[in-house]
Each structure stands twice: as structure tokens, then as C-alpha cells.
Amino acid sequence: MDDAMHYDEMPSPAGRLLLVAGREGLREIRFEHERHPRALPAGRVRASAALAFARSQLEEYFAGTRQRFELPLHPLGTPFQLAVWQELGRIPYGATISYGELARRIGKPAAVRAVGAANGRNPLPIVLPCHRVIGADGSLTGFGGGLPLKQWLLALENRTVRGDLFSTPA
């Protein structure tokens, strides 16, 4: 990739996804119906070939055949946000943790609200699985793609772990 910002769109069971990447790696995955839509980066160039690897891995994830992404990532954020997002990438497929546990894992146990805010600004949902973070009581809380999509992603992973891929998502 050159210095331009590349993007592509892809259909998925989660709705249409917009992928954005720079020279250093994948920067964003956006849902078709985000809670907080943002403007696209200036100077972007449609480049399906440049994003084919990411698209392929996302398709494998939705098919239930990929549990771990192997992509160059380059999310932009504060050092705190980057620490939270890095830890999101360590949550095992099919598992969930609480915001409090995520705060403990980054060494900031009192920063639960800040962790929640950073989780909400995750620019790479699915790949950095913020949908695996739930409330301390087990409830589903905020997700940029909406709570029904969060529930669907968790159900997809649960079916895969159980070996029940032939069930149709709700």
C-alpha cells in the first residue's frame, strides 16, 4: 500500500462493513448502522485488492472457520486506548470478560469507566473483539453495532465452540 488511505466495503451476516487501512495496516472496521457514525478519512482510495486479506479473514470468521485474526493492525488512539484495545485482542474466542476484569488486566483496576469508554471507541470491532466484554452481572452492554449484533456475534462464537455451526443465527 502507498501513503493513501484505502477502503473497501463488504457484505457480511453482520451487515455491510466498511474496511479502512493505511500503509501500516488495518485501521477501522465500521458497521453499516453505527451508533456514532464518523466521517471517512480524507484522501481515501477504494482498493479492494489492498484489503482482500482482511476481507477474507472476516469471511472466515463469519463462516465459523477462523477464531484468531492474523492481520497487520494500526488503530489510532491514546496510549490508554491502545492498551485497552491490545488487551481486547487477548480475550479468547467464545469467552467473555467484564469491564472490571479488562481494567484489571491492563493494570488499572479503578479505571472501569475509562476502560468502558475506550472499549466504545474501538475502531476495529470483531478483530479486536469488544463484543466479548460484558457487564459485571453478565448483561450485554453497549456496542457500536447495537446490542442485537453483539448478541449475534457472541452466539456465533458459542455455536462454533460447541460445534453447532449449522444453526441459523437469530
Question: Which residues are known catalytic residues?
Answer: 130
| Strand partners for 134 | 98
Show the cell assigned to 58: 472476516
Terminal Cα distance for the chain, rounded: 38
Burial of 136 (0-12, 13-18, 19+ CB in 10 A): exposed
Q: For 11, which DSSP code? A: -
Quick one: which of 65, 53, 67, 66 has its CA closest to 19? Answer: 53
Quick one: which of 83, 120, 132 has its CA closest to 104? Answer: 83
3-state secondary structure of 73: strand
> 14 and 31 in contact (C-beta within 8 Å)?
yes
